[in-house]
Amino acid sequence: MKKVLISTLAAALAITLIFTSCGNGDDTPFTTVPSQSSSSDNSNTEAEAEETKSAYSVSDNLIALTFDDGPGTESSEKILRILAENNAHATFFIVGYNLDERPEIVKKAAEQGNEIGNHTKGHKNLSKSTDSEIREQINYVNDKVESLTGKRPVLLRAPGGNFQGVTDKVGMPLIQWDIDTNDWRHKDTSSGRTEEQRNSEINAIVEHVMTNVAPGDIILMHEIYNFSADVCEILIPKLAAAGYKMVTVSELFEAYGTKLEAGKVYRQAVSAETTTYSNTLKIEPGVYAVTTSSSSLNLRESADINSAVLIEVPKGESLTVTESVEGWAKTSYMGYTGWVSTKYLTPAA
C-alpha cells in the first residue's frame, strides 16, 4: 500500500515538473498561476482597454467641428439633423443660461453621439474673473450636463478665447481652434443685405474651410445662428464628400494618441509620426506675409501663447519683423507692437 502511495505521489510530482518546465523558457522567470480573482481582474482590464481603444486612426482624415454658445432652437435642430444625415459628430460648447432654457436640445445632441463641452455658465471672460467665479462658471455647466446626460463634460472652451493667466485654475483641457469660420460676423441680425449677398457670404465661408482644412483640424462655428446652420447644410456634405470624417474633439485627440491634460491649450491634433513646421523657428528681420490657415493671426502682448491679444492681423497682410526669439517674431500692426508666431509667417516675395 505504501509502495502504491509513493508511486502515485512520484508520478504526480513528475507531471507537475513537466508542465512547469513547458510553461517557461530558460530565460523566463517562473511565476505562479494567478488566483481566480486575479484572472478576473485581468479579464476586466483587457475588456476595459478594448472598450477605450479608439474607433478611428490618423489615416481616417479626421477633423472636429465645434459649435459655441448654444443650445439654440431651430438652428441647433437643423445642425443636429445635418450631422445625423452625414454620419458626422461634433462637439457643442454650451452656455449655462441657454442650457437652462433648452435642456432637451443638449440631451438630444448627446444621444446622437455628439460631445457636450463647457463654455461657462454666463459666457464670462475668465481672465477677468476671480477664482471663485471661475469655479462657479465651470462647475455650474458640468453639474447640469452630468445631471441631464449622465456624462460630465471633460473639455472647456474659454469664452472669447480668454484664458490668459487662468490655465492653472480651470481644471480642464482648454480647446481652441485652428480654423475660424467667423460665422458670427454674418449672423442673422445683420441688416441691409440681400438674399444673394447672404448666400455669397455662406459660400465664402464654405470655400474658406474647404481650401484650408486638413486632417487634425478643429473648426470653430456657432450654434445659435440660422446663418451658421445654413453654412452647415453646404459645408458638412462637402467635407464628407472630400473624405473627411467629422468626430468629436475627444475622439480626434484619442485617435492621434494625445492625452488631453487639464490646464493645457489645444488648437489642433498633430500626429507624432507627421513632420510639422517647427514652432521653435527663429527668423531674420525682414518683411513676411501672414499665412495662417485661419482668417487672422493674433498679435500678442509678449512672446507667450497665454499673453493678451492686442489685435488680429488678417491673413495675407505683410508684417515687418524687427527681432525674433524661438517661435516668436516682434512686429507692429495698426499702431500696436507685439509678437506673432513664426509658424504662420512666410518671407514676402
3-state helix, strand, coil in the chain (%, to 5): 40, 20, 40
Is 123 catalytic? The answer is no
Alpha carbons 96 and 106: distance in angstroms, whole number: 11
Which ranges of the chain would DSSP assign to H, the alpha helix? 2-22, 36-52, 74-85, 96-101, 103-111, 131-149, 195-212, 226-241, 249-255
**Cell numbers at 344, concatenated:** 504662420
Grid coordinates representing 19? 508542465
Residue the block writes with cell 488631453: 260
Q: Nine-digit cell at 190? A: 445683420
Helix orientation angle between 103-111 and 74-85, rounded to the nearest 10 degrees? 10
- DSSP class of residue 34 equals P
The active-site residue out of 123, 222, 230, 304 is 222
The residues near 307 (Cβ < 8 Å, ≥ 6 apart) are 164, 300, 301, 339
Backbone angles phi, psi at 170, to 5 degrees: -80, -25
Q: Is residue 183 a contact partner of residue 222, using CB atoms and an 8 Å limit?
A: yes
List 68, 69, 183, 230, catalytic entry = 68
User: What's at 254, amino acid-wise?
Assistant: E
Q: Read off φ and ψ for residue 16, nearest 5 degrees.
A: -60, -45
Look at residue 177 and give its three-state secondary structure: coil
208 annotated active-site? no
Amino acid at 333: Y
Active site residues: 68, 222
